[in-house]
Structure 1
């Protein structure tokens, strides 16, 4: 009996702590403080590597491209030109080129930063290489199919990560040029990927074709960061579109379905499990996928798309969980290394894309908590 009482007391204490930490008031100034700490730490450690690679990621690699997406959002908040200058210097040093593969979505990611820099500085050289490359892709579209490991299969978006990497670049290019051909191309390709990888029952995306029939401890395999890529990418696309357009309504429908599902499967601690439907098999926190979900949910509340009373507690709980994994010097821990499926994460391991996701989340949590 004493043992049972002790277990019940321990469980009650855990629930009280979890509810307390999730309900803690979040102040806008505190959001900015932790964002600055994380951004500054990442810039200082930019050329270090964390996923077992032998050398740092190339500045134009997708890993850094995802960092820049979040860093741009922070630069808009920071009231300090040094962040813009840091980003601009990367573009100048690399002559505003996308990375090495013509069609591969990962190598398009850095284009999101280039277009945001163009919006600030209005220098056309910043986007001309991206526009030229996308024109080539449009007029020489890949003839590959979406099935995994078929010839040139990744010349199209046949893995869900790609929906964060490339489509927002197309949407941004459409917005800054007013040339609808970029939106039209992106829209048709996005629909093809969604028809192929989106589970209509679970309202989540398989990472790629290999996972559609796979089961992990009896559950369907929906990778957290993979779906985080999609969810954040949807936000970055929707921000560029006319809310009255058919394209906006299409993306919004997917976004709402995913948001509802994410609300249902958030862990009691505020994270999302690395295998989204397999919480008990993946209890380790993971901050890259979870940060993207916080970003997307907070954005929806701020836009009046998601009901605040329903979704705000989840967004704030998620943010508090993410902040709890920032070290005193500003490193975001528990970022799953580069991969394609649920795996492991550690408190002392990070990655640049995790920082990008965290900064994206902070940009919307800041607004949600009253920041201007």
Structure 2
């Protein structure tokens, strides 16, 4: 055996370990996406509704439900799929009053759930229910306010409010409508909206203020933006005029997130504040955006796969034995007060955290 071959053989175990360290496909027992997804998605069955204003299905529940459906579909878990679909049926009958009205960015996004069910079942009743939520996001009501009409006249959604949360709420329902219809108007208007939000809210360091008048880098708020860009770029045609600008904004943000990741692998409630607490929902959203970028080859695998892997391995221990995610910031309005973000209550099992964990599961399972 020559010296070169012998040296290569000696290096093989090290190279194998290094590949494992950087891999988004090999995880220790208890950390695999199949195990995590099974635990969190099955928890959805039997859970009570989380209502917006006590009246309508809320966006955190919508996203948890949709994430569970995606997991069940990807793993061909027919029992779970049937249970999740059956959970929806009362919304056509006895629980019809819980269907969100179509007058706010946090309510119109509900359409993404029946549109997901349509993709899974091909039952047109879900398409007929879901599509109007996408359409009315760009149809100003007769009693629309002057500022709402002004946004619409510029080609933006009348529901625009310049909170970073919006760029997942708008993106998800518009991209779903594009997926099921093939009509480019849906993806084009979501892309135009995204560029406007990027130009208005993204700072030179790649992160985002919660709103123009709230100059703080809130974790989950930035997570909505990261995940929204990842979803949009997944479906935005290569020749779309807005794609280069959105990709630039995405890359700038991912570079910044790499720098702000804590030594433990998480991101904090206030991303740039080291004395802030590690928050799980924002961390999961960033991890989803990173995994997606690596798998779609938007990000350099050697540089970013270890960042995503480190985050995933840090996230999983926050799940309890019942599938509830811990250390989740509660629903948060904007407020020009930094201490407000430090002091937000933390919950276990809050749907704000359950959903993005499932987004990561889906991204890891995707081939």
Shorter-normalised TM range: 0.7 to 0.9
Q: CA offset at residue 322 of structure 1?
A: 0.8
Question: What is the alpha-carbon distance in structure 1 between the residues aligned to residue 159 and residue 187 of structure 2?
Answer: 18
Q: 2:77 aligns with which of 67, 77, 80?
A: 80
Contact persistence 1:207–1:340 (CA under 8 A): no
Stretch moving more, 188-197 or 309-318: 188-197
- Matching of residue 159 in structure 1 with residue 163 in structure 2: yes
Alpha-carbon distance in 1 for matches of 2:208, 2:247: 15
Residues 365, 137 of structure 1: alpha-carbon distance in 2 compared, 3 angstrom cutoff: closer
1:110 match: secondary structure? helix
Give the match's secondary structure for 1:35: helix
Alignment of 1:229-244 (within 5 A): 229-244=224-239
* Greater CA drift, 340-349 or 248-257: 340-349
- The CA deviation string for residues 303-344 of structure 1, in whole angstroms up to 9 with x for no partner, is 111111111111111111111111123221111111146335
Unaligned stretches of 5+ residues in structure 2 = 1-20, 151-156, 335-340
Distance in 1 (alpha carbons) for counterparts of 2:98 and 2:109: 8
* TM-score of the pair, normalised by structure 1: 0.77
After the TM superposition, which of the residue ranges 188-197 and 266-275 deviates more from structure 2?
A: 188-197
In the other structure, the counterpart of 1:65 is 62
Closer, same or farther: CA 156–99 of 1 in aligned 2, 3 Å? farther
Matches of 1:97 and 1:247, distance apart in 2 = 38
Deviation by residue 1:46-83 (Cα, 9 ceiling, x = unmatched): 2177xxx9x99766211112212322331223321233
How far off is 1:289 after superposition? 0.4
Residue among 281, 290, 296 paired with 1:288:
281
Instruction: Give per-residue Cα distances to partners, 1:102-145, cap 9 Å, x unaligned.
Output: 23111122222222211222222212233334434434376426
Q: Distance in 2 between matches of 1:261 and 1:86?
A: 40
Kindly state the Cα deviation for residue 353 of structure 1 after the two structures are TM-superposed. 2.1
Q: 1:316 aligns with which of 309, 315, 323?
A: 309
Aligned counterpart, 2:210:
207
1:250 aligns with 2:245: yes
Aligned to 2:360: 361
Q: Is the 8 A contact 2:105 2:166 kept in 1?
A: yes
Q: Which residue of 1 aligns with 2:189?
A: 185
Ranges in structure 1 where 5+ consecutive residues have no aligned partner = 1-21, 148-152, 213-220
- State the match for 1:37 in structure 2: 39
**How far apart, CA to CA, are the structure 2 residues paired with 1:308 and 1:146?**
44
TM-score (norm 2): 0.78
Q: Over aligned residue pairs, what C-alpha RMSD do you find? A: 3.2
Q: In the TM superposition, what is the alpha-carbon distance from 1:252 to its structure 2 partner?
A: 2.1
- Aligned pair in 2 of structure 1 residues 239, 224: CA closer, same or farther (>3 Å)? same
User: Which residue of the other structure, out of 258, 272, 280, is the alignment partner of 1:263?
Assistant: 258
